[in-house]
């Protein structure tokens, strides 16, 4: 009788260990986000002089956020895998020999990306007045000399990195891997 009790206890332990592993492998909260930014100016080249509103409109484009299922063989989705967006972030790195960059641009972005689906925003700006009014972009304004004070150049070339973030309806935090888009700012 003792052997049966020990065998039952051992079987329960094996089954419960197996359930935990299976649950972890098939967690329905497992989605990834990808971003893609496109604009009418290709290559991305923008003149900073002129009307600020026109400039902001010029650097606006289309942001597409895609929810990717990491296991493409598993087509079972749940509404709990949908991602409620919380925001988007644009950060900047220099491609040219300069080192100065504008401050990051964060803003709240509301919407839901269905599991395996996409959500598109038109007219999405990649910078705001804060980025325009700080070096190196502000250096390119004619009233500030029209050239980057660090490099002496009249063109500033940067990578603009886009990252979207939110959480699944099941509560899991999700963010996209930042993707760069090369942009030239000119006088």
In angstroms, the CA 158 to CA 180 distance is: 9
Residues 20 and 91 in one domain: no
Range of the domain at 89: 31-186
What is the number of helices (H) and of strands (E) in the chain?
Answer: 3, 10
- pLDDT tens sequence across 63-121: 999 999 877 666 677 889 999 999 999 999 999 999 999 999 998 988 999 998 999 99
Query: 10 Å Cβ neighbour count for 22?
Result: 10
Residues 10 and 52 in one domain: no
Domain count, the chain: 2
In this structure, what is the dihedral angle of CA atoms 122, 182, 112, 26, given to the nearest 10 degrees? 150
**pTM exceeding the 0.85 threshold for the entire prediction:** no
| Residue closest to 95 by CA, chosen among 9, 181, 165, 166 | 181
Residues 69 and 129 in one domain: yes
Residues 44 and 17 in one domain: no
The domain that contains 137 carries what CATH number?
2.60.40
Residues 43 and 23 in one domain: no
Residues 97 and 85 in one domain: yes
- pLDDT tens sequence across 25-34: 334 457 889 9
Q: Which tokens is 186 given?
A: 């000119």
Q: Which residue has tokens 């649950």? A: 23
Residues 10 and 94 in one domain: no
């Amino acid at each position: 009788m003792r052997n049966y009790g020990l065998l039952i206890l051992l079987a329960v332990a094996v089954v419960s260990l197996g359930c935990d592993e299976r649950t972890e492998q098939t967690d329905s909260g497992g989605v990834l986000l990808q971003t893609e930014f496109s604009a009418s100016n290709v290559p991305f080249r923008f003149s900073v002089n002129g009307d600020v509103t026109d400039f902001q409109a010029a650097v606006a484009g289309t942001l597409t956020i895609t929810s990717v299922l990491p296991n493409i063989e598993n087509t079972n989705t749940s509404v709990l895998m949908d991602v409620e967006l919380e925001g988007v972030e644009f950060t900047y790195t220099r491609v040219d020999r300069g080192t100065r960059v504008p401050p990051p641009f964060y803003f709240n972005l509301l919407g839901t990306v269905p599991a395996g689906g996409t959500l598109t925003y038109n007219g999405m700006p990649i910078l705001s007045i804060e980025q325009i009014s700080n070096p190196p972009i502000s250096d390119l304004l004619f009233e500030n000399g029209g050239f980057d004070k660090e490099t002496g150049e009249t063109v500033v070339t940067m990578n603009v990195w886009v990252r979207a973030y939110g959480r699944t309806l099941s509560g899991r935090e999700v963010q996209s891997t930042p993707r760069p888009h090369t942009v030239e700012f000119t006088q």
